[in-house]
Structure 1
Amino acid sequence: MSEATFRGGVHPYEGKELSSDLPIKTVMPTGEMVFPMGQHIGAPATPIVAKGDKVLVGQKIGEASGFISANICSSVSGTVKAVEPRMLLNGSKATCVVVENDGQYTGIEGLGEDRDYTKLSNDEIRDIVKEAGVVGMGGAGFPTNVKLAPKEPDKIDYILVNGAECEPYLTSDYRQMLECPEEIVGGLKVILKLFDKAKGLICIEDNKPEAIAKMEKMVQNENRIEVKVLKTKYPQGGERTLISAATGRKIYSAKLPADAGCIVDNISTVIAIYRAVCKCTPLITRVMTLTGDAFEKPVNVNVRIGCCHADLVAEGGGFKQEPAKIISGGPMMGFAMFDLNVPVTKTSSSILAMTTDEVALNEPTPCIRCGRCVSACPGNLVPQKMAQAVSHNDYDTFVSLNGMECYECGSCTYACPAKRPLTQLFKQARQHVAAQRRKK
């Protein structure tokens, strides 16, 4: 069993033992459901329902408003209460369709019916994925139908299923590999139908031996699919690092994975493709991990998109004590939540509740030029020099140091003994440079 990896990276405390052995629990929400129209990269969807309308499970309530956009489907049946701005995870407000859940979960006609993907044309498959509102569920939220339609499909050599789940604490992908491997392989076979020359690689870190064994058993008779074992290291699951580790190919910020002959999809996304194409079910649910030492009982939950984060806390037994910090996502690339009264979206992956805010305890000190940030950076950058440029508002130098190639993965910040907020600096600098470029 060979292990593939990339240059750089770090080994933070994993924390996965809190929830890795806990089966996925299905949660059926009650009351109000809130569906943001912007749950993806690109233009927000346009609401196509109004106050007072009756909706069904699987019904489209928001329509993609551009090439890079995605449909939004209701996860419950009920009555539209409002179409109005509501607070989102990042603290901003955006247009949402608010549905009063009737608790009946009445579905649209044909919801859940079996469908033979082998009898569908490639265009029909892409249209189904688009209609179902499937997007990248690993965090980016890129519309999947667009990803499955590269300019030169004949040049796609690899379909990479990202099962690395390198972010600490998160175990939702791991549990899905154990509990529904048939759907993962089924979704991958749907994608492979679109690309005749491609090979499917299910990429899993070596700290998940049970998942590796399960998936290897599932694909033992599949001549176009194999399991690729990766060395456990953060950020192994990043798109560029995954491509490098699994195929040896390189891409940069100006390129797409398709430019390197690759398409990368998260475990949850591949399952969503399977359900949309083979089970006539749009993207209306997702699996999340509720974990951290502040939770009484960490748990993995299958939740309906649109439910409230605050309502999920009880599924983890509530909090042992008031959390010092709550993070949406993992500790490396997630972001702090200041209010749990916000809806679950297609890209929500976890609620991480901690009794101690370690970041707040770390007082930054001057750089000692130790070079640890350079060794940790998976992008082969020099964070120390980049930070110096940003601190002087010298964005030209930041760009010349390839600062726009930063993954914002947090490896440099984690490795820094001076506890300098490097990733935060680079995130702000990249946003500034991008804004200036748009103006020009």
Structure 2
Amino acid sequence: MRQIFDIHGGIHPPERKELADPGYVHEMPLPSKLVLPISQHIGAPARPVVEVGDAVKGGQMIAEAQGPVSVPVHAPSSGTVTAIESRAVPHASGLTATCIEISLDGNDSWIDLKGLEDWRETPKPELVERVRQAGIAGLGGAGFPTAIKLASDRELGIHTLIINGTECEPYISADDTVMQCCAREIVEGAEILAHMVGAQNIILAVEDNKPEAAEAMANAAQALEIADVVTFPTKYPSGGEKQLIEILFDMQVPSGGIPADIGILCQNPSTAVAVRDALINGKPLTDRITTVTGMSLKKPGNRRVMLGTPIRELLDEAAFDAETADRVIHGGPMMGFAVTDLDMPVVKITNCILAPTRTEIPSPQPQQACIRCGMCAEACPASLLPQQLYWYARAKDNEQLERHNLLDCIECGACAYVCPSHIPLVQYYRSAKGAIREAANEKVRSDNSRLRFEARQERLEREAAAKEAKRAARKAAAEARAKSGDDPVQAAIERAKAKKASQEAEQ
């Protein structure tokens, strides 16, 4: 029996997961159109390789990766590209981004897919590249390109793979459903992932509020000797990578570091299935299971939905009652954000669409002054000082924010949840993080400009010195020839003078 440890802080908000009936998948009908952002992941956006008017098939790449930290985008079904333009996309800041719109033809025609005959005999770099070309990014919410994690070159290597089935945020039960319905595929994917990174151990981590999922995973993992299903007490946010590692190993990921720094790789259950489908079946990532829930829906549930499906159509399928809804949230109630446009599409990180009523999740109360009660510090799972970070964020003191490890904040919202003054602390932290990143980017741009200017100055100085050296060399050569009498120019001058003197004498 593995020993389980506790994490600092954490909270126990009402779970309300039963509303979506975890363990059963509803199949979404074909939408009328798909809107596919070229950036559904952390890193550089993909580059469109189709044009308006092009016919596409399901599984066809429509945008290719740009750079190593990028993944391509594939068409989830067949149709015609009708627009490539900026649209509203799911993002906390309400950003717009370039999207490819496909009007579906209803045939759902696909390209021929070809998987590997034996992934065990395939070189690992090729496996990683196939994962990358399948467009797989983390499906747990962060959206980091999976191939980058798998290609980690940390000195100590990866000794343990964790399939993170914690799913601690209220309402969300997509991972629970995947574990119950696709346990065998998860274990196959975990075996492939462990092979790719050289891990000798696999931990299938499940909170104890998901007994059906834990049982399904245990049954599927029996044939895999290196796999171990571990359950632990329910607590939010135990699903954070660093928090889960502390629970399982009583180890701390270094500040500013990642789990690979201590030899651990964490992956989401749906990501494991996507990797398995990509390598065995040759299928790119074009759909996902998403929790559609909230008491303003008459038909909540977990649905398999094509990426690019407008949120409006997803809500319509769940019988959305707009009159009783307070707002629509992308993600869960703790880490999600309000949807400003229901035509926004489902993307790779869309694990939940929450449509609560006004009484179910009341609107935020007016912010009051901080009373310095310290409850936020007690709840913080990263052992930070939320109150200090709040004051530094308001003062825009980036130096102090970095010194107090703001970038270690996982934005779980536990501090704001317990705050008696209703201060939206996470919003301050997100804004401050953005300012720090922008300042860092501006410094990089400034440094690059300075380096370019200095390089240009050095080049101009070298060119001027080279020209001056050539002039000096020509002058020295001319003077040397003049002294030796071999200067052809001087000789010509002397001949001209002699000829002129001879002509004057004859006259």
TM range (shorter): over 0.9
Q: Which sections of structure 2, spanning at least 5 residues, go unmatched?
A: 444-507
Matches within 5 A, 1:232-243: 232-243=234-245
Task: Give the structure 2 partner of residue 15 of structure 1.
Answer: 16
Matches within 5 A, 1:203-352: 203-319=205-321, 321-352=323-354
Q: Give, in angstroms, the shift of residue 220 of structure 1.
A: 2.1
Range moving further from structure 2, 185-194 or 368-377:
368-377
In 2: Cα distance, 1:24 partner to 1:208 partner:
16
Contact 2:17 2:172 in 1 (8 A): yes
Compare the two structures and name the one with the higher helix fraction: 2
Between the two structures, name the one with larger relative contact order (CA 8 Å, sep ≥ 6): 1
Question: Is 1:387 aligned to residue 385 of structure 2?
Answer: no
Q: Give, in angstroms, the shift of residue 114 of structure 1.
A: 7.2
Residue 88 to residue 361, structure 1, CA distance change in 2 (3 Å): closer
In 2: Cα distance, 1:196 partner to 1:392 partner:
46
Counterpart of 1:291, as a letter, is T
Identity %: 37
Residue 351 to residue 193, structure 1, CA distance change in 2 (3 Å): same
Q: Give, in angstroms, the shift of residue 367 of structure 1.
A: 2.2
Q: For residues 329-376 of structure 1, what are the alpha-carbon distances to aligned partners after superposition, in whole Å with 9 as ceiling and x for unaligned? A: 001111111211111111111110111275634222222222211111
Residue 254 to residue 135, structure 1, CA distance change in 2 (3 Å): same
Matches within 5 A, 1:130-145: 130-145=132-147
Counterpart of 2:16, as a letter, is G
Task: Give the structure 1 partner of residue 61 of structure 2.
Answer: 60
Q: Give, in angstroms, the shift of residue 266 of structure 1.
A: 0.9
Matches within 5 A, 1:394-433: 394-433=397-436
In 1: Cα distance, 2:297 partner to 2:79 partner:
32
Matches within 5 A, 1:160-179: 160-179=162-181
Residue 63 to residue 320, structure 1, CA distance change in 2 (3 Å): closer
| TM-score, scaled to structure 2 | 0.83
Residue 131 to residue 364, structure 1, CA distance change in 2 (3 Å): same
Q: Give, in angstroms, the shift of residue 253 of structure 1.
A: 4.8
Counterpart of 1:280, as a letter, is G
Task: Give the structure 2 partner of residue 47 of structure 1.
Answer: 48
In 2: Cα distance, 1:227 partner to 1:407 partner:
25
- In structure 1, the residue corresponding to 2:189 is in which secondary structure? helix
Which one has the largest radius of gyration?
A: 2
Contact 2:88 2:95 in 1 (8 A): yes
- In structure 2, the residue corresponding to 1:354 is in which secondary structure? coil
Q: Which sections of structure 1, spanning at least 5 residues, go unmatched?
A: none
Of 189, 192, 196, which residue of structure 1 is paired with 2:191?
A: 189
Counterpart of 1:23, as a letter, is Y
Contact 1:153 1:195 in 2 (8 A): no
Q: Give, in angstroms, the shift of residue 321 of structure 1.
A: 3.1
In 2: Cα distance, 1:126 partner to 1:166 partner:
29
In 2: Cα distance, 1:25 partner to 1:4 partner:
36
- In structure 2, the residue corresponding to 1:219 is in which secondary structure? helix
Range moving further from structure 2, 203-212 or 423-432:
423-432
Number of matched residues? Answer: 439
- In structure 2, the residue corresponding to 1:325 is in which secondary structure? coil
Q: Give, in angstroms, the shift of residue 320 of structure 1.
A: 6.7
In 1: Cα distance, 2:155 partner to 2:404 partner:
34
Counterpart of 2:195, as a letter, is K
In 2: Cα distance, 1:252 partner to 1:354 partner:
38
Q: For residues 185-223 of structure 1, what are the alpha-carbon distances to aligned partners after superposition, in whole Å with 9 as ceiling and x for unaligned? A: 010010111233431111111111111111112112321
Counterpart of 1:218, as a letter, is A
| TM-score, scaled to structure 1 | 0.95
Q: Give, in angstroms, the shift of residue 396 of structure 1.
A: 2.8
In 1: Cα distance, 2:252 partner to 2:151 partner:
21
In 2: Cα distance, 1:335 partner to 1:252 partner:
29
Contact 1:22 1:299 in 2 (8 A): no
Task: Give the structure 1 partner of residue 476 of structure 2.
Answer: none
Residue 424 to residue 182, structure 1, CA distance change in 2 (3 Å): same
Q: For residues 30-72 of structure 1, what are the alpha-carbon distances to aligned partners after superposition, in whole Å with 9 as ceiling and x for unaligned? A: 3221111011111100000112211111011100011100010
Q: Give, in angstroms, the shift of residue 434 of structure 1.
A: 2.2
Task: Give the structure 1 partner of residue 125 of structure 2.
Answer: 123
In 1: Cα distance, 2:119 partner to 2:267 partner:
19
Range moving further from structure 2, 66-75 or 153-162:
153-162
Task: Give the structure 1 partner of residue 201 of structure 2.
Answer: 199
Contact 1:115 1:279 in 2 (8 A): no
Contact 1:20 1:174 in 2 (8 A): no
Task: Give the structure 2 partner of residue 105 of structure 1.
Answer: 108
Range moving further from structure 2, 315-324 or 52-61:
315-324
